[in-house]
Amino acid sequence: MVLKAISFAVIGVVNTAIDALVFFLAYRLLVASPAATDAISWLVNHCHCGTVAAATLVVANTFSWLVAVSGSYVMNSTITFAAESGRRLRLTSYVMFLGSGILGYLGNTTALVVVAHVFPLVLPEWSLLTVYVAKGCAILVSFVVNFSMSHFVVFRVRRSPAEDARP
């Protein structure tokens, strides 16, 4: 299990770099685009679900998660959990990985928004450094959740039908 955690972590570093690059690119584009800001503002005003700044974080994080989760599935299926997956990509495993990834995404996004809300007590609200710190904390939360779900649910060792038939 330790070797799997290390492999998962190394793949996680690569995947985290992809996630962070996509997140910060999307975040900067959203913040710089009057059309995107207007659309997010409209959404926030109609759903009464927070602030434009928080919603912008959530939109950028959702986009980066969608890009990163697919790469993560491929890398973990073929490397970390190769024995369990047979190095084969399966739609059912991918759907389970996405499902388990949603828990990581929810933990990641919650940590991102909470830290971004609390951190301005030290720095000016919504500064870029605040977003970097918040994303860093969010990444740590999602690592714990995603490894646990991958190890115990998605890629768990399956018993053979003969073993299931034994009393």
Q: What is the pLDDT of residues 22-69, one digit of tens each?
A: 999 999 999 999 999 999 999 999 998 889 999 999 999 999 998 998
Please, which pLDDT band fits residue 18 given cuts at 50, 70 and 90?
very high
List the structure tokens of 22: 């996509």
Q: Name the most confidently modeled range: 29-43, 90-104, 123-137.
A: 29-43
List the structure tokens of 46: 């109609």
* Cα 80 to Cα 2, 16, 75, 112, 126, distances in angstroms: 11, 16, 7, 27, 37
In angstroms, rounded to a whole number, what is the distance separating the alpha carbons of residues 65 and 86? 25
Q: pLDDT averaged over the chain? A: 85
Please, which pLDDT band fits residue 124 given cuts at 50, 70 and 90?
low
**What's the whole-model pTM score?**
0.73
CA angle 64, 70, 71 (to 5 degrees): 90
Is residue 154 predicted with pLDDT exceeding 70? no
List the structure tokens of 4: 């799997």
Is residue 125 predicted with pLDDT exceeding 80? no
In angstroms, rounded to a whole number, what is the distance separating the alpha carbons of residues 95 and 57? 25
